């Protein structure tokens, strides 16, 4: 039976260092922490990788440095979420804004404010799209959309005057929920 293993004197390098330094112990490299600034491109997504050429481990026997690979993990935001290149969020509106229509001031991801007109009779959960205000695709440069869903906030407490006004409104409207008509399939 035969076995093959590196030489215990040169560790397979072919060179024996008679007086190795105390810091590297003859390996030729020393581990140390380095701080590097990295520019994260706009629109990068979860688990995408950034490659920094020549910023990795030093090469053996004076060879060139390797590359540094950085995998990006995105921190969750409490207002915005992401679906591909689209920005998704929920915008609270009042009962009167939903009923009468309104000009909303929508805060964008970049800190700007976009004005958007919602129509009268807007229902809870309605989605609206602002085209071209999402994230930019790194490869194609195409811009995603900003998609927001309205959440109608119903007041929990009303003043006597507000209560009276709503009672007057209720008298003028048919307060029964609409009955769904049966179609061909049920």
pLDDT digit string (tens) for the chain, length 186 residues: 778 887 777 766 777 777 777 777 766 677 788 888 999 888 888 888 999 998 888 777 777 888 999 999 988 888 899 998 899 999 999 989 999 999 999 998 888 999 999 999 999 999 999 999 998 888 787 889 999 999 999 888 889 998 888 888 888 877 665 556 666 665
Measure CA 164 to chain center: 46
pLDDT for position 131: 94
- For the whole prediction, is pTM greater than 0.95? no
Catalogue all structural domains in the chain, each as residue range(s) with its CATH number. Answer: 34-75 (no CATH), 81-172 (2.60.260.20)
pLDDT for position 181: 65
Cα–Cα distance measured from residue 147 to residue 128, given in angstroms and rounded to the nearest whole number: 6
Alpha-carbon separation of residue 148 from 121, 123, 156 (angstroms): 17, 13, 24
pLDDT for position 20: 72
pLDDT for position 148: 95
pLDDT for position 104: 94
pLDDT for position 90: 94
Strands in 127-130's sheet, in edge-to-edge order, are 81-83, 86-94, 146-153, 127-130
Cβ partners under 8 Å of residue 48, min gap 6: 71, 72, 138
């Amino acid at each position: 039976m035969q076995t093959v293993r590196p030489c215990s004197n040169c560790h397979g390098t072919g060179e024996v260092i008679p007086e190795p330094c105390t810091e590297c112990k003859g390996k030729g490299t020393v581990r140390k922490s380095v701080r590097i600034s990295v520019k994260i491109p706009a629109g990068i997504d979860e688990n995408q990788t950034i490659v920094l050429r020549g910023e990795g481990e030093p090469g053996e026997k004076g060879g060139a440095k390797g590359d540094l690979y950085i995998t990006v993990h995105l921190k969750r935001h409490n207002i915005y979420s992401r679906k591909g290149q689209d920005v998704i969020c929920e915008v609270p509106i009042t009962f009167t804004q939903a009923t009468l229509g309104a000009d909303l001031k929508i805060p964008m991801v970049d800190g700007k404010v976009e004005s958007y007109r919602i129509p009268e009779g807007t229902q809870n959960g309605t989605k609206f799209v602002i085209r071209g205000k999402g994230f930019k695709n790194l490869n194609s440069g195409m811009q995603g959309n900003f998609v927001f869903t309205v959440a109608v906030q119903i007041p929990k407490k009303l003043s006597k005057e507000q209560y009276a006004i709503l009672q007057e409104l209720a008298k003028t409207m048919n307060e029964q929920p609409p009955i769904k008509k049966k179609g061909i399939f049920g």
